[in-house]
């Protein structure tokens, strides 16, 4: 496993500060690590740099809590695989078809919150959050970040619509486009797309993106 100095360097880089400023009592509230998107980037970077799947990246209030989750009495296992979501999600697709009721989720995100990187194909956050097809589509647009933001919102809205997807590996969820250009949500397993029983609507401006996901009865 990488040393704790590596974690300190990771957090410092994401906060835009010096490693020496990253102390155990450093609170994440009010910093660049506040918000679900920032935490997803933290999770992806820890997974890439330390070889650890660390759910505490989403919940830790301080650097000390994050450090303890990895190096404490019950450290995360190095090289732990991403959650085995495809089989679970595929089964949930079938369950949802028989589940009555309407559910709705909505998410909004500032486009500027998404990181600008040199290579979107190799960046830890983008590789852990979007499928290759999504990355390719967004990079072909005039304003790639607005389209990345809209797809991020769609996946967050799906989680709010149905808690089953809270632990889903985002690399298995995709916003695809129908022949008419309408977006739809699907699960990607070994290159095969299985549409999910949800309606999704995306919208964005140069400043922000929003998505609404609805499960119909």
Residue 85: pLDDT over 60:
no
For the chain, give the percent of residues with pLDDT over 90. Answer: 81
Pairing of strands 208-215, 183-189: unpaired
The span from the CA of 58 to the CA of 44, in Å, is 11
Q: Mean per-residue pLDDT for 29-33? A: 94
Last residue of a domain, one of 38, 71, 104: 71
Report pLDDT digits (tens) over 145-193: 999 999 999 999 999 999 999 989 999 999 999 999 999 999 999 889 9
134 lies in some domain = yes
Report pLDDT digits (tens) over 1-24: 566 789 999 999 999 999 999 999
Residue 98: pLDDT over 90:
no
- Look at residue 206 and give its three-state secondary structure: coil
Q: Determine contact, residues 199/216, Cβ cutoff 8 Å.
A: yes
169 lies in some domain = yes
Least confident of 59-63, 76-80, 95-99: 76-80
Domain that holds residue 9: 4-71
Helices (H), the chain: 4-15, 36-50, 63-71, 85-97, 124-129, 132-139, 144-161
The span from the CA of 101 to the CA of 216, in Å, is 7
At 87 the pLDDT is: 43
At 216 the pLDDT is: 76
Report pLDDT digits (tens) over 114-133: 999 999 999 999 999 999 99
Same domain, 189 and 94: yes
Please count the structural domains in the chain: 2
Q: Mean per-residue pLDDT for 110-117? A: 95
- State the maximum Cα–Cα separation within the chain, in Å, rounded to a whole number: 54
Q: Mean per-residue pLDDT for 63-83? A: 66
The span from the CA of 83 to the CA of 122, in Å, is 20
At 40 the pLDDT is: 94
Q: Mean per-residue pLDDT for 73-94? A: 44
Work out the pLDDT band at 100, boundaries 50, 70, 90: low
Same domain, 37 and 103: no
Tokens of residue 15, six digits:
């906060």
Work out the pLDDT band at 74, boundaries 50, 70, 90: very low
Q: Determine contact, residues 111/204, Cβ cutoff 8 Å.
A: yes
Same domain, 118 and 179: yes
Q: Mean per-residue pLDDT for 72-76? A: 51
Q: Is 190 left (phi over 0), alpha (psi -120 to 50) or beta?
A: left
Phi, psi values for residue 36, rounded to 5° = -65, -40
205 lies in some domain = yes
CATH code for position 33: 1.10.1200.10
């Amino acid at each position: 496993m990488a040393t704790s100095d590596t974690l300190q360097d990771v957090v410092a880089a994401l906060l835009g500060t010096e490693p020496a400023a990253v102390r155990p009592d450093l609170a994440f509230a009010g910093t660049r690590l506040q918000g679900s998107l920032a935490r997803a980037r933290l999770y992806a970077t820890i997974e890439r740099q330390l070889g650890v799947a660390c759910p505490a990246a989403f919940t830790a209030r301080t650097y000390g809590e994050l450090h303890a989750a990895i190096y404490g009495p019950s450290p995360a296992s190095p090289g732990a695989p991403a959650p085995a979501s495809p089989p679970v999600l595929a089964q949930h697709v079938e369950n949802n078809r028989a589940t009555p009721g309407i559910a709705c989720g909505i998410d909004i995100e500032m486009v500027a919150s998404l990181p600008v990187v040199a290579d979107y194909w190799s960046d830890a956050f983008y590789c852990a959050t979007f499928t290759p097809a999504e990355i390719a589509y967004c990079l072909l647009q005039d304003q790639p970040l607005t389209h990345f933001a809209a797809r991020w919102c769609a996946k967050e809205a799906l989680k709010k619509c149905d808690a089953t997807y809270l632990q889903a590996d985002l690399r298995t969820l995709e916003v695809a486009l129908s022949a008419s250009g309408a977006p739809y949500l699907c699960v990607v397993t070994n290159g095969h797309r299985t549409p999910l029983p949800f309606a999704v609507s995306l919208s964005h401006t140069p400043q922000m993106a929003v998505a609404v996901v609805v499960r119909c009865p």
